[in-house]
Amino acid sequence: MVPRAAVPGALMVQIPRRLNHDDTAQEEGAETPMSAPGFAALPDPPYWAVIFSSRRRGQAEPADEPGYSLAAERMVELAAHQPGFLGIESSRDPDGFGISVSYWQSPEAVVAWRRQVDHAAIRDLGRERWYEHYELRVAAVERAYGWDDAAP
């Protein structure tokens, strides 16, 4: 487990590393598929999640929307080239509430992403133009599992 001081404000809860969905211990070396279209393909835990919840401003100016889309694409591109980046999942509802979760190998990778210069510039632009409110949470992922009704 990473010490709490590694990421200021992170809540650390120690959970056994390899559990099945029913909280029983998973057999060592057992495979757990964790990806499907639209989901990040991630390694076994532990890793870190940066959870960005946001609400867009009322009705964005139509001319501003392309700028938002380009900025969002650029953020993903920048993150993908950042050491320690594992993947991202993102969704936004028609009312403008969205959640993006980026996944990182370590708390150091999370901090480096926060300090990345181009990321900071786009973040400032988001505050200025596109977001009414946002909240960011950083969490250690100690357990992960999935289910798919199409699985054999």
Q: Is residue 16 part of a domain?
A: no
Per-residue pLDDT tens digits for 106-125: 999 999 999 999 999 999 99
pTM confidence score: 0.73
Q: Which two tokens stand for residue 87?
A: 């993947």
Averaged pLDDT score across all residues of the chain: 78
Does some domain include residue 128? yes
Residue 106 covered by a domain: yes
**Eight-class DSSP state of 151:** -
pLDDT single digits (tens) 11-62: 332 223 233 333 344 344 444 445 677 899 999 999 999 999 999 987 555 5
Tell me the C-alpha distance between 39 and 45, whole Å. 16
How long a stretch of residues is the chain?
Answer: 152
Asked if residue 8 is part of any domain, the answer here is no
Contact 134, 54 (CB under 8 A): yes
User: CATH number of the domain that 81 lies in?
Assistant: 3.30.70.100
Please report whether residue 24 resides in a domain.
Answer: no
Task: State what percent of residues in the chain have pLDDT above 70.
Answer: 70
User: Between the CA of residue 28 and those of 17, 43, 66, 82, what are the distances in Å?
Assistant: 11, 15, 48, 31
Structural domain total, the chain? 1
In Å, what is the CA distance from 84 to each residue of 51, 67, 119? 16, 27, 15
In a domain, 68, yes or no: yes
pLDDT at position 31: 41
- Which domain covers residue 126, as residue numbers? 47-145
Q: Is residue 80 part of a domain?
A: yes
Burial of 75 (0-12, 13-18, 19+ CB in 10 A): buried
Query: Rounded to whole angstroms, what are the CA distances from 23 to 32, 136, 146, 148?
Result: 14, 28, 13, 18
Q: Is residue 42 part of a domain?
A: no
Query: What is the reported pLDDT for 147?
Result: 87
Residue 57's pLDDT is: 85
